[in-house]
Amino acid sequence: MFAQEAAAPHNHAGHDHAGHSHATEATGPHGGTVQSVGDRRIETVIADKGIMFMILGKNDQPIAPPDATGTLKLQVGDSEKEYTYQLKTLKNPAIGVGVDLSKVVDQTLHMNVEITNIGTDPLTFHAMGKLASGKLSDELLISLQATCPVSGQPLGSMGKPPKITIGDKSLFVCCAGCTKKVEVSPDQYLTKYYTAKGEQVREGVFKSTLADAAAIAAQKTCPVMDEPLGGMGVPGKVNVNGKAVYICCPGCAKKLVAEPDKYLADLKAKGITPPAF
């Protein structure tokens, strides 16, 4: 599964989904970032095992001449050090290079790319992206949890909620005074919040909870709007042919339910398998 953040602002005003505007970059069919280079559309896909560039053709299918090659010059974060890699045609088809990016998770990658043997002139462009950690932000986890497990007070009502990490999970409390109770009986509180079912906010749309955290982290973006989940508050949860699919806001549910097979296929193309509802 590819983990990548796309920088694509959308006009979400009034939830006018039919008329939202795309910037020059958007999420591509393989979960990468798409940009226009001349009359071509290029999708940059960043995975933990390497970087791929896909030249998108008809119906967004990648095309790569068998003898296409190229060069990637990579800089990580603010470092001035430049790493040079030779690109080659892969099996998918894409043009890319295998490189271990596990040590640079969540750091911005600056890529100067030249792809040759695909036409009269080389294809030269700059791309940016990052390998996302797959972990949700504290802000989103807090919104999913909503209340302090000890006092029942809304999280944030007493300042920044202290975070308690228990194994690979986290819980937040309203204040430092509640920390000890959670640390003494962590399983009691974890079970309560990580199995909680969300209330129905409108017909067919449920509010996500911490029980949905792993699935939200895996899905990352709303299939209707390409917006990051959590960018508009607590994600909605919809039953799509028995699968749990998450949306950025309740306004996206109508399109999702109208074309369930289309959106499930879009998720599958990105390597995402929604859990059972």
- CATH at 124: 2.60.40.2480
Q: Which of 74, 97, 129 finishes a domain? A: 129
Query: Is the model's pLDDT at 219 over the cut of 80?
Result: yes
Same-domain check for residues 49 and 167? no
Confidence (pTM): 0.56
Same-domain check for residues 117 and 206? no
Question: If you average pLDDT over every residue of the chain, what do you get?
Answer: 84
- pLDDT at residue 225, as a whole number: 86
* Cα(24)–Cα(18) distance, integer angstroms: 18
DSSP H stretches of helix in 72-147: 138-145
Arithmetic mean of pLDDT, 114-124: 91
What tens digit of pLDDT does each residue of 162-196 get? 999 988 889 999 999 999 999 999 999 999 899 88
- pLDDT at residue 94, as a whole number: 86
* Cα(68)–Cα(56) distance, integer angstroms: 14
Of 267 and 12, the one with more pLDDT? 267
- pLDDT at residue 62, as a whole number: 82
Same-domain check for residues 110 and 27? yes
Same-domain check for residues 242 and 178? yes
- pLDDT at residue 24, as a whole number: 44
What tens digit of pLDDT does each residue of 27-38 get? 777 778 899 998
Q: How confident is the model at residue 25 (pLDDT cuts 50, 70, 90)?
A: low
DSSP H stretches of helix in 64-204: 138-145, 179-184, 186-194
Query: Is the model's pLDDT at 134 over the cut of 80?
Result: no
Same-domain check for residues 190 and 145? yes
State the residue range of the domain holding 102: 13-129
Q: Which of 74, 108, 129 finishes a domain? A: 129
Same-domain check for residues 158 and 260? yes
Same-domain check for residues 234 and 179? yes
The residues that bridge with 110 in the sheet, in sequence order, are 75, 128
- pLDDT at residue 119, as a whole number: 82
Same-domain check for residues 103 and 200? no
Q: Which of 81, 97, 129 finishes a domain? A: 129
Same-domain check for residues 117 and 18? yes
Arithmetic mean of pLDDT, 76-105: 88
What tens digit of pLDDT does each residue of 174-183 get? 999 999 999 9
3-state secondary structure of 115: strand
* Cα(184)–Cα(168) distance, integer angstroms: 17
Count of domains for the chain:
2
Same-domain check for residues 125 and 144? no
Same-domain check for residues 145 and 121? no
* Cα(274)–Cα(156) distance, integer angstroms: 31
Question: Is 63 exposed, middle or buried, given 0-12, 13-18 or 19+ CB atoms closer than 10 A?
Answer: middle
- pLDDT at residue 9, as a whole number: 34
Same-domain check for residues 97 and 211? no
Query: Is the model's pLDDT at 262 over the cut of 50?
Result: yes
- pLDDT at residue 8, as a whole number: 35
Question: Does any domain span residue 8?
Answer: no
